[in-house]
């Protein structure tokens, strides 16, 4: 990696100057959360916030996502900055004066802040357009919460030609406020949905010998799946399987014909992912067969593993420290088993996702006890968005200036 040269004072000042507008935009989005791939109100807010900037706007048929492109030198590099836009299906209970006004929807994962920071970065970078040695793509992406929005935007051809590097920030209430964090290699897990139907033969509860009861078979499968994971998969390339829902029967004295199970599989490599898929099918089908039942196994592939490139992570670390000092970066010792669809972008482009600590004001060192992402009581310190804006800008500037060149 080449020596890092960034406009430290300019970007930190820009982040501070744009913070008020970022807070206003974040709160407007927070009040009207939307779910899934089609977010017309959120997209309208984004487009309005970008009005008047020298940006090419692209939108595709599959989502209401927006790719805004700041064209610099045609012979320069291209960097992509991403912010996801969708909310979660739960009812907010924070007491904030800008709480969600939509029943059953809440920005409980910080995507509202991601959008606001990315808009701020677009404004700041557009103001220095003539000083940038390349092109910046701003990816405003819907459908991150399980809807594969990044994959749809890629498939729609919006991100073409592909950039030289890609960067995303994710806010976290369970990290020290204002600290960035990341790591080389796997950052987040793959996530697959598991559905198993055990088919037996119904009958009277008093005469199980005349039926084929699928319930104990389902229970045996749940236990055996845990054994399969711990005895066939290395702890150094791990997998986590959870059967979170079992449904069978209609009343207390009838043996049902079917038992249904649903769960999730998380892994940190494609090799372990395939090994676990094969093991799940073998365990469920053969245990069912041993008891005179049939098991139908369906595994729905979700997001891939989020893998961060070493040089890009090193650049993010150097950028964070250059902006805010040595304590502004934390190297994560381990991956997290959550999943993220920015992984689709990182399958095609070298880059990284980093976290930004945003523990609510007043918690001090007790940030680990804060309500976590996906909690209906989750709150954040909005002031850190100034750092997020500056980090987006400085990272983009560094990439375009050739900091990643050998």
* List of E strands, 200-341: 203-204, 239-248, 254-255, 258-267, 294-300, 306-308, 329-331
pTM: 0.93
134-141 and 77-84 strand pairing: parallel
Angle between helices 385-400 and 111-127 (to 10 degrees): 50
Task: State the greatest distance between any 2 C-alpha atoms of the chain, in Å, as a whole number.
Answer: 82
**Structure-token pair, residue 23:** 């807070």
pLDDT at residue 66 in the model: 98
Segments in the chain below pLDDT 50: none
Rounded CA-CA distance 37/23 in Å is 24
**8 A C-beta contact, residue 194 and residue 241:** yes
pLDDT at residue 370 in the model: 81
Angle between helices 40-50 and 8-31 (to 10 degrees): 150
pLDDT at residue 309 in the model: 96
Cα dihedral 129, 328, 168, 182, rounded to 10, equals 140
pLDDT at residue 155 in the model: 97
**Structure-token pair, residue 291:** 């008891």
What lies within 8 Å, CB to CB, of 180 at 6+ separation is: 169, 316, 317, 320, 328, 329, 330, 354, 355, 356, 357, 387, 391
The structural domains of the chain, ordered by start, are 8-188+305-400 (3.40.630.10), 190-300 (3.30.70.360)
Cis previous bond, 84, omega within 30: no
Name the β-bridge partners of 169: 354
Q: Return the H-helix or E-strand segment holding 186.
A: strand 185-188
């Amino acid at each position: 990696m080449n020596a890092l040269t960034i406009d430290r004072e300019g970007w930190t000042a820009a982040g501070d100057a744009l913070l008020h507008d970022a807070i206003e935009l974040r709160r407007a989005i927070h009040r009207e959360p939307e779910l899934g791939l089609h977010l017309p109100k959120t997209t309208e807010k984004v487009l309005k916030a970008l009005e008047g900037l020298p940006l090419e706007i692209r939108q595709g048929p599959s989502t209401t996502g927006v790719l805004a492109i700041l064209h610099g030198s045609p012979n320069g590099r291209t960097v992509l900055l991403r912010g996801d836009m969708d909310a979660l299906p739960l009812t907010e209970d924070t007491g904030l004066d800008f709480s969600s006004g939509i029943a059953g929807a809440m920005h409980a994962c910080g995507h509202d802040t991601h959008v606001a920071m990315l808009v701020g970065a677009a404004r700041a970078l557009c103001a220095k357009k003539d000083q940038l040695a390349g092109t910046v793509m701003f990816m405003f992406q819907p459908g991150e919460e399980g809807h594969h929005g990044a994959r749809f935007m890629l498939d729609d051809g919006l991100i073409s030609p592909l950039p030289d590097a890609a960067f995303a920030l994710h806010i976290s209430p369970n990290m020290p406020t204002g600290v960035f964090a990341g790591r080389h290699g796997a950052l987040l897990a793959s996530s697959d949905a598991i559905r198993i139907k055990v088919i037996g033969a119904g009958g009277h509860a008093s005469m199980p010998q005349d039926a084929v009861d699928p319930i104990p078979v389902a229970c045996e499968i749940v236990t055996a799946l845990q054994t399969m994971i711990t005895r066939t998969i290395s702890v150094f390339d791990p997998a986590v399987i959870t059967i979170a829902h079992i449904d069978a029967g209609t009343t207390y004295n009838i043996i049902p014909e079917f038992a249904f199970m649903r769960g999730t599989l998380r892994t940190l490599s494609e090799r372990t992912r395939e090994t676990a898929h094969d093991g799940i099918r073998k365990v469920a089908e053969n245990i069912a067969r041993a008891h005179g039942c049939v098991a139908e196994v369906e595994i729905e592939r979700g997001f891939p593993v989020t893998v961060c490139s070493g040089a890009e992570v090193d650049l993010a670390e150097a950028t964070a420290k250059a902006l805010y000092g040595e304590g502004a970066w934390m190297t994560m010792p381990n991956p997290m088993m959550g999943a993220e669809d920015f992984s689709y972008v990182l399958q095609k482009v070298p880059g990284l996702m980093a976290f930004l600590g945003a523990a609510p004001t007043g918690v001090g060192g007790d940030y680990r006890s804060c309500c976590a992402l996906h909690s209906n009581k989750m709150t954040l310190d909005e002031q850190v968005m100034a750092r997020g804006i500056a980090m987006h800008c400085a990272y983009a500037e560094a990439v375009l200036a050739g900091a990643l060149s050998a």
